[in-house]
Chains A and B, each alone.
Chain A
């Protein structure tokens, strides 16, 4: 079965790029463009990994992460933060809340992001 990736990203173009790359690499992709719909999608589509942006309209990525980790139904879904924040404080906060990894978008290519993602799925 195809591995399913949930992409929570508010920038339309970045979402399209990442979506395309994930599809060509043979993943099943679900997208969400804000925090609320992202949370719903984590519950409903049961992804193998979530790629989570932090600055989102409505509830931000930290809150999404916190809520997902509190809900026993979704607590075990691995989350990788993919954001353009990247100060030590943000990184520590994200990891403390239970993210598996913290990637700064501008520092990774889509290929490198997928390589990171693979190490978590497999």
Chain B
């Protein structure tokens, strides 16, 4: 009996000791975790404080919890002025009108979901703003607002656009004067010319036209690189664009004695979203290439086909073709085939580059097949307008 009791006492003590150890362990773990958490927090804060992008963290009541140094700089507000303040109060001033419009749903008193929205804060500050809604499985945890400074990018963009349009204008003015003078002299407005004079001036006229075309190409390329090449896309008929281009190219075809056959379905084709002017340019580039690189007496065939969800344009020539080794490079800027450089044909090497960019911007695809000495076929496809909006 006594033995039993003592045994019982021992086990109890033992148990208590074990509990104590376990508790101490737990306490220690908690302390470690607490330290970890503090470290983690410091690390996170250090990351936030040192990011070049500005960060505003709102709690679930839309009060500012964290404001990082770049945001302090952007908005010229002290940290103490902002932390704990409601974001709607913070943004209520006239200075933040643009930002408020982009970020706040005024009716619902809620933050809006935005992604890389450009906002002009003042004439010396442009920001790209993103909001991220922080959520755990069950609850909202607030909103993270990220500000990316794009002031410099915008400035460079504006300067480039201005530069391009001014230089285009400056270059075009003397070229117009040359064009007009030559044309008027050639038309006999200043008296009769002899045959030799006429021939020479005719050649200078063509040369000048090439210069004008080159400037147009360069203007287009600079627009492509700014990423704002397409102006207005509207649902339209690709066949109409193609017909316009064919009509305006009759002269060219006659000059090179090239026969053109066209195969466009009789019925109306599904609509595709197109920027008419640019699409004309794309088709024209392909047609001009086909004619330019096909020897006299050759033929060019154009067809348009309706596929399942897209329209496919095809232009096939019996020209010199593209050397196999250069197939990979043909859509790059300033590319010109080795074989055609030797032919002394004129070209800027910008046509296919521009064309591919136009087709890409229309969410289409462009590809080709070519055999040197046999001919080349270019294809592009455009998705139906319906499929694009779906």
Q: Which residue of A lies closest to B164 (CB)?
A: A87
User: In the complex, what's the smallest C-beta–C-beta distance from A16 to chain B, in angstroms?
Assistant: 10
User: In the complex, what's the smallest C-beta–C-beta distance from A48 to chain B, in angstroms?
Assistant: 22
User: How distant is the Cα of A110 from the Cα of B183 in the complex, in angstroms?
Assistant: 8
Q: Which residue of B lies closest to A10 (CB)?
A: B173
User: How distant is the Cα of A107 from the Cα of B277 in the complex, in angstroms?
Assistant: 15
On whether the beta carbons of A111 and B176 are closer than 8 Å, the reply is no
Q: Is the interface of B mostly helix, strand, loop or mixed?
A: helix
On whether the beta carbons of B184 and A20 are closer than 8 Å, the reply is yes
On whether the beta carbons of B180 and A84 are closer than 8 Å, the reply is no
User: How distant is the Cα of A13 from the Cα of B187 in the complex, in angstroms?
Assistant: 18
Q: Is the interface of A mostly helix, strand, loop or mixed?
A: helix
On whether the beta carbons of A105 and B189 are closer than 8 Å, the reply is no
User: How distant is the Cα of A14 from the Cα of B183 in the complex, in angstroms?
Assistant: 13
User: How distant is the Cα of A73 from the Cα of B210 in the complex, in angstroms?
Assistant: 43
> Size class of B's contact patch?
20 to 34
> Which chain B residues border A11 with CB–CB below 8 Å?
173, 177
Q: Are A20 and B189 CB-contacts (below 8 A) given A11-B177, A110-B183?
A: yes
Q: Which residue of A lies closest to B229 (CB)?
A: A88
Q: Which residue of A lies closest to B231 (CB)?
A: A88
Binding site for A on B (CB under 8 A): 165, 168-169, 172-173, 175-177, 179-181, 183-184, 187, 189, 212, 215, 219, 223, 231-232, 277
Given contacts A105-B176, A106-B176, A110-B183, 20 further A-B contacts (CB under 8 A): A14-B173, A14-B177, A17-B177, A17-B180, A17-B181, A18-B180, A20-B184, A21-B189, A84-B168, A84-B169, A84-B173, A85-B169, A87-B165, A89-B231, A106-B172, A106-B215, A107-B212, A109-B179, A111-B183, A111-B187
Q: List 29 A-B contacts (CB under 8 A).
A: A11-B173, A11-B177, A14-B173, A14-B177, A14-B180, A17-B177, A17-B180, A17-B181, A20-B184, A55-B169, A84-B168, A84-B169, A84-B172, A84-B173, A87-B165, A87-B219, A87-B223, A88-B231, A88-B277, A89-B231, A104-B172, A105-B173, A106-B175, A106-B176, A106-B212, A106-B215, A109-B183, A110-B183, A111-B187
Binding site for B on A (CB under 8 A): 11, 13-14, 17-18, 20-21, 24, 55, 84-85, 87-89, 104-107, 109-111
